[in-house]
Structure 1
Amino acid sequence: MDHYSLRQRVIDMQREPSEATADRAAEDVTNTSRENIFLFVPNLIGYARIILTVVSLYFMPVHPRRCSAIYVVSCLLDALDGWAARRFIQGTKFGAVLDMVTDRCTTTCLLVFLATAMPKWAMLFQLLISLDLASHYMHMYATLSMGESGQSHKQVDAKRSWLLHLYYTNQIVLFTLCAMNELFFVALYLLAFAEQESKLSGDSMKKVIQSEPWSAGAMEIARANKIQSSIPTALVRLSVLPMLIKQYINIQQLIVASQWLAEGDAAERARQSVTR
């Protein structure tokens, strides 16, 4: 073997480990790409929540017990999907967004019904919907645009807000406040079916229902006297304080996200002024 061949052999031997490493890396990427993110266990639970929510909406106008039971199961699954993500190491960006969007849509649908069932408080329910959507959208957008690459919306710096940091990092606090918040609105929903005094006679009620079965009046008659008010009232009193804390956290989340985005805008404008 001449000097050139020996030298080439040494070079080839030196290249083999790196090539093997590259081959293994390519194989890992191929195996990873074969994973179907949409079929991860937490995401399957998310799809189940969506189905249950749709079913609960079907029963919502006149079947309070069925609707409430299905709605509560959907909310409880919200805790299960997070556990599944940690248990099976299947936390994904898609799953995080799916979870948040499902939460927002589910609560919004219930509040929309409450706004129609309790028109006196419709404006309050509309404001709660707006606050919920705005605060979570701003928080998610601020995290994506200002946070580090791959940073979760649940990774909140305690220096920005110790309350948000506690809320998103302590599973007990997160679950308790979210559960109590939903319980408050479910209890209000049940109160919409509680005993009511109707000013219409039996014949008048029958005429309204037969002539306009989907009118607001017919729906109100259909809801009346279906549930005793004592239990829903007790649930409202039990959950009102956690619900208020949850709304305060939404306000805090909106403010912190706005400040974070404004800081980024100010820094960007400062960089642009330097380059001019």
Structure 2
Amino acid sequence: MAADRRVKQSNGAPKEPARQADDQTDENIFLFVPNLIGYLRIVLALCSLYFMPLHPRRCSFLYSISCLLDALDGLAARKFNQSTRFGAVLDMVTDRCTTACLLVFLSTAKPAYSMIFQGLISLDFASHYMHMYATLVMGGQGESHKNVSASRSRIMHLYYTNKWVLFVACALNELFFIALYLLCFSSPIITPALLPTNGNATEPLSLLPGSPASPKPSMFFSSPFSAAAMEMARANKMDSSVPWALVIISAPVMIFKQYVNGVQLWEASKWLAEGDRKQRKQAGLDKRR
């Protein structure tokens, strides 16, 4: 008779030996090509944040490259068959955080519009969190957040299934905010500090870009962490025609993207409420007063 190799617990009941994890591979998910591209996006985004207060051209270039790599990681995932849930979450979190950082800067640069920028940040985070959570709870672990049926929402189905619609919407949405950021350093309409004045007069001469009216001694310090960094960058202004053109071109797409965010938030809320009603019915709570 074979010896019983089961180990008894303290209460005398036999305890099964620990099973080895044979239900997963030994692949290093963190080193998949799409995820490496995701890490590069984060590095570029951090570099753009460093240059954001003082070097608008460098910041815009690095930020734009980080956003464009968002399309490359998806291509790499399909080419190398390395689509992962970690990569999908990393991609979404990077998108949300980079956009939020840019909008926070716009809030500080233009405090009069800070509530609008704060509202856009809240809508972006809330809609994507609700959508991801609803997909996980109602659709299951294996369900992708991009699998939205047309019966649930036609606009979201188009947004997530048509790669060109998704790319153009995300790219021009970011382009709109980048253009607003550049206008902070170029347009006297957006930034009144750029208006030149006539000697000691307080009224500006014209709407043409000019040096700040009353340069402060602190503006001579070029540290991007100083309070005068943005004022100094504005003194080295750029032509405002290109940012204005980018704003006009991308504004309709930005509005469309915010509309999709609103629909996404509403549809995710309805989906979660649908699950709550089913759960309450199964528990018999719907008959209680």
Task: Report what 1:108 is aligned to.
Answer: 100
Q: How does 1:172-211 map to 2 (within 5 A)?
A: 172-195=164-187, 196-197=194-195, 204-209=214-219
Residue number in structure 2 paired with 1:161? 153
Secondary structure of residue in 1 paired with 2:54: coil
Give distance in 1, aligned partners of 2:140 and 2:240: 50
Runs of 4+, deviation exceeding 3 Å: 198-204, 210-218
2-structure distance, mates of 1:203, 1:157: 57
Amino acid at match of 1:148: G
Is 2:55–2:233's contact at 8 Å kept on the other side of the alignment? no
Q: Which consecutive unaligned segments of at least 5 residues does structure 2 have?
A: 1-21, 188-193, 201-210
1:228 aligned onto 2:228: no
TM-superposed deviation, 1:224: 3.6
| One-letter amino acid matched to 1:96 | A
| Percentage identity across paired residues of the two chains | 63
After TM superposition, the structure 1 = structure 2 runs for residues 66-81 of structure 1, keeping only pairs within 5 Å, are 66-81=58-73
Aligned-residue Cα RMSD (Å) equals 2.6
Q: 1:203-251 CA deviation, whole Å, 9 max, x = no partner?
A: 9514243699756555234324421100000000000000000000000
Kept in 2, the 8 Å contact 1:117–1:220? The answer is no
Q: Which residue of 2 aligns with 1:26?
A: none
Residue pair 2:195, 2:212 contacting (<8 A) in 1 also: no
Residue of structure 1 in register with 2:205 after alignment: none
Contact 1:194 1:224 in 2 (8 A): no
CA distance in 2, matches of 1:179, 1:202: 33
What does residue 248 of structure 1 align with? Answer: 259
Contact persistence 1:61–1:223 (CA under 8 A): no
Q: Could you tell me which amino acid in structure 1 is paired with residue 280 of structure 2?
A: R
- CA spacing shift, 1:160–1:203, aligned 2, 3 Å: closer
2: CA distance between counterparts of 1:183 and 1:262?
Answer: 35
**Cα deviations by residue, 1:45-102 (Å, 9 ceiling, x for unpaired):** 0000000000000000010000000000000000000111111110000000000000
1:272 aligns with 2:283: yes
Offset of residue 159 of structure 1: 0.6
Of 215, 221, 239, which aligns to 2:250? 239
3-state SS of paired residue (1:154): coil
Provide structure 1 residue ranges, at least 5 long, that are not aligned to the other structure: 1-28
Name the counterpart of 2:129.
137
SS of equivalent to 1:205: coil
Kindly tell me: are residues 205 and 240 of structure 1, through their superposed partners in 2, closer, same or farther at Cα, counting changes over 3 Å?
A: same
Q: Give the distance between the partners of 2:172 and 2:213, measured in 1 at CA.
A: 41
Q: Distance in 1 between matches of 2:25 and 2:264?
A: 35
* Residues 143-186 of structure 1 deviation map (CA, whole Å, 9 limit, x = unaligned): 00111340000011111101101100110000000000000000
Query: How many residues get paired?
Result: 250
Q: Deviations over 1:21-41 (max 9, x none)?
A: xxxxxxxx58x5210000000
What is aligned with 1:3?
Answer: none
Q: CA separation of 1:202/1:41 partners in 2, compared to 1, >3 Å: closer, same or farther?
A: closer
User: What's the TM-score once normalised by structure 2's chain length?
Assistant: 0.80
Which whole-Å CA distance do the structure 2 matches of 1:266 and 1:53 have between them?
42
- Counterpart of 1:255, as a letter, is W
Q: Counterpart of 1:6?
A: none
Change (3 A) 1:37 1:224: same
Contact 2:53 2:229 in 1 (8 A): no
SS of 1:158 mapped into structure 2:
coil
Whole-Å Cα distance in 2 between the matches of residues 172 and 160 of structure 1? 21
CA distance in 1, matches of 2:271, 2:93: 22
